[in-house]
């Protein structure tokens, strides 16, 4: 696995950054979908989801991420294409802002410290490994999980599960959410059908009724080519091993 410190921040408007931001966070969909995501109501569980942006909460948006439980209490999960690509490299200067809403950052912003991706993503952008774990630095002596809590990681859960998917479209200042059932796209990829998941929602967590994160928007088509159908790498042994590497 590839785990390394984030390099010093570059100016957010460089051509490389702009190119990655355009490529990152493609959230998915299909025409003719009856269900549409709604604005997510403020609540403590939802505050574990936040924006990944460049340098400040109001900086250029990259994606969505969420806090997962970890021994260091400092871990996020998102899509790998949100933080690194073979062509661009590692996206520098990211900050995570949980619970961001209408310009308000109730918990502040947490600078990204390191990312862990599978080598098969790092070397070849393999969609079968489009998931990343991200550590963030403590702020004011407090870890992010101490501030907002974290969802347990769920692996090996299968398909046909009821989930809620919450994320931040780039064109909105509030998160959206939708609930539905997962289904199999392939033995190693799953899908979720609901409209509204446009650019910025890659990395959005798929949370079961028991509070476990079993997917993030990413994987096949980097999460999807239209706003009504989203994809995720199936959280199985690949993700269990990646989590182990991120937390050891």
Does residue 188 belong to any structural domain of this protein?
yes
Does residue 13 belong to any structural domain of this protein?
no
Does residue 88 belong to any structural domain of this protein?
yes
Q: Is 116 in a helix, a strand, or coil?
A: strand
Cα(108)–Cα(51) distance, rounded to whole angstroms? 11
pLDDT in tens, the chain (248 residues): 433 333 322 223 233 333 343 344 333 333 444 699 999 999 999 999 999 999 999 999 999 999 999 999 999 999 999 999 888 888 899 999 999 999 999 999 999 999 999 999 999 999 999 999 999 999 999 999 999 999 999 999 999 999 999 999 999 999 999 999 999 999 999 999 999 999 999 999 999 999 999 999 999 999 999 999 999 999 999 999 999 999 99
Q: Is 180 in a helix, a strand, or coil?
A: strand
Q: What is the pLDDT of residue 19?
A: 39
Whole-structure pTM value = 0.86
Does residue 1 belong to any structural domain of this protein?
no
- The CATH number for 242's domain is 2.40.10.10
- Cβ neighbours of residue 34 under 8 Å, at least 6 residues apart? none
Does residue 6 belong to any structural domain of this protein?
no
Does residue 10 belong to any structural domain of this protein?
no
| Region of residue 18 (phi > 0: left; psi between -120 and 50: alpha; otherwise: beta) | alpha
Cα(214)–Cα(207) distance, rounded to whole angstroms? 6
Does residue 2 belong to any structural domain of this protein?
no
Does residue 7 belong to any structural domain of this protein?
no
Let me know how long the chain is: 248
Cα(92)–Cα(246) distance, rounded to whole angstroms? 18
| Phi, psi angle pair for 49, to nearest 5° | -100, 140
Range of the domain at 197: 18-247
Q: Which sign does the torsion angle of CA 12, 129, 156, 229 carry? A: positive
Tell me if 86 sits within 8 A of 167, measured CB to CB: no
Number of independent structural domains in the chain: 1
């Amino acid at each position: 696995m590839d785990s390394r410190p984030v390099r010093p921040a570059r100016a957010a408007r460089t051509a490389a950054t702009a190119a990655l931001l355009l490529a990152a966070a493609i959230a998915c969909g299909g025409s003719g979908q009856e269900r549409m995501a709604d604005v997510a109501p403020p609540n403590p569980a939802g505050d574990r989801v936040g924006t990944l942006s460049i340098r400040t909460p109001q900086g250029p948006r990259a994606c969505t991420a969420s806090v997962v439980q970890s021994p260091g209490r400092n871990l996020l999960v998102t899509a790998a294409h949100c933080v690194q690509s073979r062509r661009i490299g590692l996206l520098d200067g990211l900050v995570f802002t949980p619970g961001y809403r209408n310009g308000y950052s109730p918990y502040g912003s947490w600078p990204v410290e390191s990312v862990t991706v599978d080598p098969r993503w790092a070397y070849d952008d393999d969609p079968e490994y489009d998931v990343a774990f991200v550590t963030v630095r403590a702020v004011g002596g407090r870890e992010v999980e101490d501030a907002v809590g974290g969802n347990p990681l769920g692996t090996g859960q299968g398909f046909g599960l009821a989930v809620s998917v919450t994320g931040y479209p780039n064109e909105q200042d509030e998160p959206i959410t939708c609930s539905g059932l997962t289904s199999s796209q392939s033995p190693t990829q799953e899908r979720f059908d609901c409209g509204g998941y446009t650019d910025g929602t890659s990395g959005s967590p798929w949370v079961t009724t028991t509070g476990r994160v079993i997917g993030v928007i990413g994987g096949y088509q980097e999460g999807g080519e239209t706003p009504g159908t989203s994809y995720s790498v199936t959280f199985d042994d690949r993700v269990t091993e990646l989590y182990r590497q991120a937390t050891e």
